[in-house]
Structure 1
Amino acid sequence: MTNTMPPIAAIRFGGGVAVDALLAEAAFRLQANGIVVEGFVQLERDLSENCCAAMHLEGIRDGSVWLISQDLGKGSSGCRLDPQALAELCGPLLRRVQEKPDLLILNRFGKGEMLGGGFRAAIEAAFILGIPVLVAVRDEYAEAWQAFTDGCHVELEPRSAAIDAWLCEHVHRREARDAA
């Protein structure tokens, strides 16, 4: 079978799209079928007193939860992403990518990645190793994503059916991939 779509897919989304739930459902469904999935999905938890929910990442393989936002206080309009927290997750993720999982899922290609940090190195490493990558990209970062991938990606609609079609085309168990 010849792949017709690139092994890097972005779920492009704007406000009101439950992209985090779509990524989590895909990841956990694949794992239940014996597919080795690495990466992170995003969780938001209400801090009640503060204006915004805290951002957490959940490790897909082990369920560990990491806080990646910083409390900037009421009335703050700055980016609440904690770049240091994200950087601390990327090193261990890079080591796990070297183990060649069947798929890498990342919660976002966002500001950190646009500026050369975040999970950008993990996406690059997965691409070099031939590991399919699925990532969510907000509309505001679509141009940076396009430049980063040099157009070597496919954009998926934020629907389970579109995601599943891409996954069926590109994600195969490591044993099957290594035997080919």
Structure 2
Amino acid sequence: MRRSTMVPGLLGAVLLVGGVAAPASAQTVTRNDPSGDAPARIDITKVRYSHESDRVRVAAKIPELGKSGTADFLVSRHEIFEAGYVVRIRQHKGQPAKVSLLYYDHFDLKKRTCKGISGSWGPQVVRLKVPRSCLKGHATKYVSTQFVLSFGAGGEQFDEAPMVKRLRRS
């Protein structure tokens, strides 16, 4: 199964899980994620979301982070991810990580280009950031954010960090 067909399913799961997170009122929010709820190579234990005046970013801690996988950083103006941007990093063993920007429009993921998106993979942390200028229509005072890490063809194994529904710009 192609990854692009898995995202709507993952987003549906995000909607179910995300409903329990409390809204944030600060520019940087840290959330803990239970250890052992996913395979060790993708088991997120902590995530820190930041909404700065010029960018939105995430740093996720995965103590036994594998050498390959895919991580998605979802950013939207909606408190439920019905449309918005996905900053994706793909890591293949022995190769440099590749970061891309996608837009989700309720049905499909569409590739976007924008300078300034970046990310890093490892050894225990995945970091992603996107300039607010890349978030056309979603660079509002408050954004919702979530981080999802997956492994396997089509992302069969995944772990979702707790969502922040209202992350305030500084």
More strand by percentage:
2
Same fold (TM over 0.5): no
Question: TM-score w.r.t. structure 1 length?
Answer: 0.29
**Higher CA-based Rg:** 1
Where is the helix percentage greater, Structure 1 or Structure 2? 1
